[in-house]
Structure 1
């Protein structure tokens, strides 16, 4: 585990109550696809936020692990949850976050479908 990942994890634990199961495994975006089918916590920088308003369900994607379309991980926020995020999904671009949930495989990438704004934690690094 890198120092940066350790700092993100420590900051998250101090800022909020994260379940012991999720706290045990911090997964980098580029390694998330290896954990498909598992519940985990993927932490990294949101490289790009994309509101797919012309797609079915109008999801918002938080792309991590590289710039779209070469990213390695996405968090998918359903339309009905967009307005409940503080900060907004667009304000997360360029910031470090951790996403908690079941990791699924989407083509050659990994993805977590967000069920609640509580599944995305802003990482504050001191």
Structure 2
């Protein structure tokens, strides 16, 4: 297992008060927030990392673990998710998707629901 900072979550200046879920949902749906990494930058760094690791994986399966906003923005761009905010809302902990940019499909492989707490 290796770590790659290019798969990190969206860089942002986010206050810990108020409705952070609504801010995050709005961001993946296309809203710009001051102090937040541009969506195009997230998609570019994520895509570059995927290309790098895809070549290294050769014929072996490639599994990437990341966070909700980053994992929403890249497939939204790669496969054209119709509803990126809905996709993010439906992410489960943990969740596994097979993303195929060639066929432009996103398929949930395994999902286990971990109950959310009021701190989520």
TM-score, normalised relative to structure 1: 0.28
> Which has the larger strand fraction?
1
Which protein has greater RCO, CA pairs closer than 8 Å, 6+ apart?
Answer: 1
Structure exhibiting the larger radius of gyration computed from Cα positions:
2
TM-score, normalised relative to structure 2: 0.29
